[in-house]
Amino acid sequence: MLTKHFVVFCSPGSFVSEVSEYEIPRWDIHEALQIYPTVKERYSAKPYGFYFATKGRGPLELNSKVQETSKMYYLGGTVETYEEVCARNDPKEEILRSNMKWNNFDKIIINTNSYKFTAPLREGDTVLNMVDGLLVGKTQY
């Protein structure tokens, strides 16, 4: 079995996230952070996060398949709970509150590396605390 490792950067897009994939020797946060500053998507969007993937194929297969993926690593951002979003009672966030309630999202992440991006924060996701492009800590949820 031939396997290769990749870091997949996700950036805000018009309707779905833009993704850029780079081969790396192993799943390593510091390796991903070396690549991060070079990643730019359409309209100069910068990544809000990344995940790792391992692809492989057998000796008789032409195409590789994703064998394993990591959880998301968010490149900074603000974590908010459902209670915090509801307490704000912002009329512009009515759909956000509704989505959080009906989909049982306890927490969200709001990232503004380039464009504002809001997503559910799932169990096992990690928020990397970044200062001037340097990793200063991380919190796993």
Give the whole-angstrom CA distance, residue 41 versus residue 102.
32
Q: How many CB atoms lie within 10 A of CB 27?
A: 17
Find the mean pLDDT for residues 19-41. Answer: 96
Q: For a pLDDT cut of 90, what percent of the chain falls above it?
A: 85
- Residues 24, 7 contacting (CB under 8 angstroms): yes
Look at residue 61 and tell me whether its pLDDT is greater than 90: no
Q: Checking DSSP bridges between strand 126-131 and strand 73-75, what pairing results, if any?
A: parallel
The answer for 136, left when phi > 0, alpha when psi is -120 to 50, beta otherwise, is: alpha
| The predicted structure's pLDDT at residue 134 | 82
Residue type, 111: N
- pTM for this model (two decimals): 0.92
Find the mean pLDDT for residues 42-58. Answer: 95
Q: How many CB atoms lie within 10 A of CB 95?
A: 8
Confidence at 1, pLDDT banded by 50, 70, 90: confident
Residue type, 10: C
* CA 51 from centroid of its chain's CA atoms: 6
